Amino acid sequence: MKKNTNTVIIFLTVFAWVAFVGYMVEGGALLWTYIMSLIWPETAADLYKGLNMSTVHDYNLIFYSTTIILLVVLSALKADIAYKVIQLLTRIREGSPFRKEVTKNIDTICNKMLTLWIMTVAYNLQLKWLTDRGVAGLENKSLSIEFILVVMILYVFAQVIMKRGMEIESENELTV
């Protein structure tokens, strides 16, 4: 069973690394194409992975900038969370999972995911606001916010289960 768990953790670590690199590339590419679009406006029609923000660019440059920068920040946050997951999985492989550092790591991931959710909602609200003002082509560009359920479950896990696990672990360590 332990060998299977280790294998799963290794697989998840690799997956987290792929996600980390992917989000870094996404953020970097978005930032680069945004800078290019300031010089060559036609670039706004084909940002990273075919993202078309040309209507926003034509509407108002400031709104266009805030929208793209929000997307870059969201990618950076996702990359940061992926990196924290890598750190968490590495710590779990090192020893007992019920340690202060692991709980702190999970708390950090929870807080960052909550920040990600708030920023995603802000992004979606901005898109809706722009759509209401007549900017076309933004209907299918809003991002999913359902992952708040995962944040809530993770929070309960960190606050209740991990803390109780730490208490039991500490008692076990002082049991002879």
Partner 1 sequence: MAIIVNLDVMMAKRKMSLNELSEKVGISLANLSVLKTGKAKAIRFTTLDAICRVLNCQPGDILEYGAGDQAEDDD
The distance of closest approach from Cβ of residue 96 to partner 1 in the complex, given in angstroms and rounded to an integer, is 16
When the beta carbons of 132 and 173 are compared against partner 1, the nearer one is 173
Question: Can residue 39 be called a binding residue for partner 1 (CB under 8 A)?
Answer: no
Question: Can residue 171 be called a binding residue for partner 1 (CB under 8 A)?
Answer: yes
When the beta carbons of 1 and 176 are compared against partner 1, the nearer one is 176
Question: Can residue 62 be called a binding residue for partner 1 (CB under 8 A)?
Answer: no
The distance of closest approach from Cβ of residue 168 to partner 1 in the complex, given in angstroms and rounded to an integer, is 11
Question: CA-CA distances (angstroms) from residue 58 to 19, 30, 34, 52, 99?
Answer: 33, 18, 14, 12, 53
In the block, residue with structure tokens 């953020």: 27
Each as own residue / partner, the long-range contacts of residues 20-29 (CB below 8 Å, 24 or more positions apart, any chain) are 20/79, 20/82, 20/83, 20/86, 23/75, 23/76, 23/78, 23/79, 23/82, 24/75, 24/79, 26/75, 27/72, 27/75, 27/76, 27/79
Q: x/- binding map, residues 115-154, to partner 1, per CB under 8 A?
A: ----------------------------------------
Please report, as ranges, the residues that interact with partner 1 according to CB under 8 A.
171, 174-176
